[in-house]
Amino acid sequence: MACFTAPLAQAVAIHVAKPAECQKSRNPFVARLGVLENMLYGGSLLLAIEHVWHGEITWRYPFLTAIAEGDVAGMFREIATVGVGMAIVVTAAWALYVVAAEAVARAAVRQKA
């Protein structure tokens, strides 16, 4: 229904809160916030397209079929469980990516020395 809104909200929050000079940060997690932002935007876009494909999002008001059917509580339950769960999994995958990228970068520096 609307599970894509949780990762989308996280992506918007990162976009707003991200410092302008985050690429220059010494903290690898801050330096790679743009990657997390892109992962969340991309995943939200693909999920929105999938929901349109299956008819859960329409081009006419109220746009979300759950609202038209009166299942607003079910929609919020899905956002709170599935949507937040997806946002957590994407963030965890990004954190593993940052840790792995830092390990590879450190190994490359050690090999040069």
Tell me how far apart the alpha carbons of residues 8 and 6 are, in angstroms, rounded to a whole number: 5
Confidence at residue 62, expressed as pLDDT on a 0 to 100 scale: 85
Confidence at residue 36, expressed as pLDDT on a 0 to 100 scale: 97
pLDDT tens by residue, 89-107: 999 999 999 999 999 999 9
Within its chain, how far is the Cα of 35 from the centroid? 10
| pTM summary value | 0.88
pLDDT tens by residue, 51-103: 999 998 888 888 888 888 888 898 999 999 999 999 999 999 999 999 999 99
- The sign of the torsion formed by the CA atoms of 68, 10, 15, 98 equals negative
